[in-house]
Chains A and B, each alone.
Chain A
Amino acid sequence: MADPILSVRGLKTQFFGPEGVVRAVDGVDFDVFEGRTLGVVGESGCGKSVTARSVLGIVDRPGRVVGGSMKLRRANGEVVDLGTLTNEQMRKYRGPEIALVFQEPMASFSQHYTIGNQIGEGIKLHMGLDDRAAKKRAIELLDMVGVPQPARRVDDYPFQLSGGLRQRVMIAMALSCDPRVLIADEPTTALDVTTQAQILDLLRTLQKDRGLAIILITHDMGVIAEMAHDVSVMYLGRAVETGSVKEIFETPKHPYTRALLRSIPTVLAKPRTRLPTIAGSIPHPFDRPKGCSYHPRCAEIIGAVCEKAEPPAVDTDDGRQVRCFLHGGMEEAKASLQGASA
């Protein structure tokens, strides 16, 4: 496989509040390839949105990226570590290299400017076009994302559009400067299911036509199954399992992935079936369990080791990565625990 466009290793992002430090992202690795979608899936508190924001350098205060590397391979072959850039330097990359589509289209638009104006803003900034050329390009973009009557719509304000249209405009805005990586943070969560199907279809088409690399962040396993090529399952700031979508769904290795897949409602189930549930609930970020962060809820816990040591990311033989003592790392952990107590 070709080299990844974006390669993240050991990313750590923390929030420093008056009540303590929250380790929102605690050592995440992933690769994103041209023309492929990486699905990042997890529930609340898993750190998936913070991961996206860390890559773009837009983590809200009081949060900060505190460690790890985020290597972007540019079209000319140059490799840049986004973590080392200042905000000024990052601005060059936001838009032309990496773009972001948010969950809530209403909140992400300014209500005071037309959508043509807002799409054009990035175009004028990064590509140096004048007003007329930018507007022309905006209309082209609107057409590309399937907005009907783009020449008329370009002068509309966000509140004049429906949810689905707004999300299309968001995508147009994100793609306005031809980025190679598109990060979509829960892009369809706020949309109706038929609209969601339209948007996901659009993203697939754009990916095929432009070789776009997509990082798709969502909590919906169904969306992951249909959109992602590779999947990273996150829990409490760590990627507990990474692999191809087929592997993750057909042969999940991490107990959390297995339990999660079993517990989600699906249209394929028989009516009135009880779903197996995951015991307990997601811990409060200040109450991180010691050892493996999933161990209090794990149905396959091994005992002392899981309670005391954090499982390392282990590469399995079929090219996947799992953080679970069931699949490796136990010997070293036991050794270091004994060493500590000796």
Chain B
Amino acid sequence: MAQIDSEKYAVATQLQLTWWRFRRHKLAMISLVLLVLVYLLAIFADFLATQDPHATDARTSYIAPQPIQWFDDNGFNPHVYGIKGVRDMKTFKLVYTVDPNRKVYIDFFGQGYEYNLFGLIPTKVHLMTLRNAERGDGIYILGTDLLGRDLWSRLMVATRVSLTIGLVGVSISLFLGVLLGGISAVYGGIVDTMIQRTIEVIRSMPTIPLWLGLAAALPNNWSVLQVYFAITIIISLLAWTDLARVVRGKFLALKEEDFVMAAELAGASQGRIIFRHMLPSFASHIIAAVSLALPAMIISETSLSFLGLGLRPPAISWGILLQDAQNIQTLALAPWLLISAIPVVVVILAFNFLGDGLRDAADPYG
């Protein structure tokens, strides 16, 4: 690698230096790109969905994943096979299966079910829709679940929910962590002692029973949205302790730095010292801590919902999707339901690599 131009190096801010160091971590860079893509996906979840994720249809239950056929005899004409109902001669029930003889063509940017783009603009445009679809037809890329809902569409929406719970939760934790950690460090003495002991009490509580208790305390008649926020707040009320300790530790270390003392000797006020001298120095550590706190949040929500203690249907999240894959019988019938676990693993790993890379870049000696 060529030597960094020394003039550029001399006027590079710490941020730029951190970025240059970060760029060298291949794994972290890949993770960054991946996560950006995943979050874009979450923003456009409904656009990418092919079926209304809430619409149930018993007839299309447990259909195996149907790959899109990209070519037919006339060239590039993406299509799927239709679904037809066949009466089972023994049970006389209508069983729906794939009909290879009937092609249903895919439209791009066609009209589908209605949703709010970015939560504001009502629209019906989706990336892929079907032309002349009959009842039961659908682009079942990942198959369907017991209630006939397309897994791909549900996964898109679940991604959005799971990722944003993480964000909202981390914001709350961040605010509480920086505030309480900062107060602890700046004031010291009895305030510090009390906050630290509180943190220790919170951390020593076993989390799962605590969650169980809190989640069970939520009234049954709350709407999905209310439950969503309640879960977020519960999780972040327990997660701020880590950040508070990191913040306090960094503050205390920085207080001893000579350049802080130099500013005091010049007559700087407490405020200037905190915001101009201390805060910028540990911003990168905070970012690294946050990028490691996010996956913890996501896993918390996924686990809670998987156990039935977090979000409840008809809300959709990774944990709820995985609920459908809970028993062996279901998995024997519809093993594709486990695909929902893959994005969880990938995203969590990506966050961890990203966080590691950020931490190494921010503090190469730490």
Indicate if A touches B (C-beta under 8 A): yes
Closest B residue to A286 by beta carbon equals B3
Q: Lowest 3 A-B CB distances belong to which pairs?
A: A18-B1, A286-B3, A20-B3
A308 to B24, CA, bound (A): 35
Does A19 reach chain B (CB closer than 8 Å)?
yes
How big is the A interface, by class? under 10
Residues of A within 8 A of B4 (CB): 19
A18 to B23, CA, bound (A): 12
Q: Is the interface of A mostly helix, strand, loop or mixed?
A: mixed
Q: A19-B1, A19-B3, A19-B4 are in contact. List 6 more A-B contacts (CB 8 A).
A: A18-B1, A18-B24, A20-B1, A20-B3, A286-B3, A287-B6
Q: Per-residue CB proximity of B3-23 to A under 8 Å, as 1/0?
A: 110100000000000000000
A selection of 9 A-B contacts at a CB cut-off of 8 Å is: A18-B1, A18-B24, A19-B1, A19-B3, A19-B4, A20-B1, A20-B3, A286-B3, A287-B6
Chain A proximity of B176: nearest CB distance (Å): 36
Instruction: Give the residues in chain A near B1, CB-CB below 8 Å.
Output: 18-20
Question: What is the chain A residue whose CB lies nearest that of B4?
Answer: A19
A102 to B168, CA, bound (A): 51
**CA A18 to CA B24, docked complex, whole Å:** 9
Residues from chain B with a CB closer than 8 A to the CB of A20 are 1, 3
Q: Which residues of chain A are near B24, meaning CB under 8 Å?
A: 18
State the Cβ distance, B17 to closest chain A Cβ, in Å: 13
Q: Which B residues lie within 8 Å of A19 (CB)?
A: 1, 3-4
Q: State the Cβ distance, A128 to closest chain B Cβ, in Å.
A: 41
Least CB distance from A20 to B in Å reads 6
For B3, the chain A residues whose CB sits under 8 A away are 19-20, 286
Within 8 A of A (CB), among B1-48: 1, 3-4, 6, 24
Q: How far is the CA of A19 from the CA of B5 in the complex (A)?
A: 11
Q: How far is the CA of A287 from the CA of B5 in the complex (A)?
A: 11
Closest-CB distance, B273 to chain A (whole angstroms): 31
Give the Cβ gap from B216 to chain A, nearest Cβ, in Å.
46
Q: Tell me, in angstroms, the Cα distance from A286 to B1 when the chains sit together.
A: 13
Give B365 Cβ to nearest chain A Cβ, in Å: 14
What is the chain B residue whose CB lies nearest that of A287?
B6
- Which chain B residues border A286 with CB–CB below 8 Å? 3
Interface of chain A residues 13 through 27 with chain B (CB within 8 A): 18-20
In the bound complex, how far is the Cα of B3 from the Cα of A19, in angstroms? 6
From residue A57, how far is it (CB to closest CB) to chain B in Å? 26
A18 to B20, CA, bound (A): 12
Contact with B along A1-37 (1 / 0, CB 8 A): 0000000000000000011100000000000000000
| Cα A19 to Cα B1 with chains together (Å) | 6
A287 to B9, CA, bound (A): 14
In the complex the two chains form, what is the Cα distance from A220 to B4 in whole Å?
A: 34
From 274 to 330 in chain A, residues with beta carbon under 8 angstroms from any chain B beta carbon are: 286-287
Q: How far is the CB of B121 from chain A (nearest CB, A)?
A: 47
Q: How far is the CB of A14 from chain B (nearest CB, A)?
A: 16
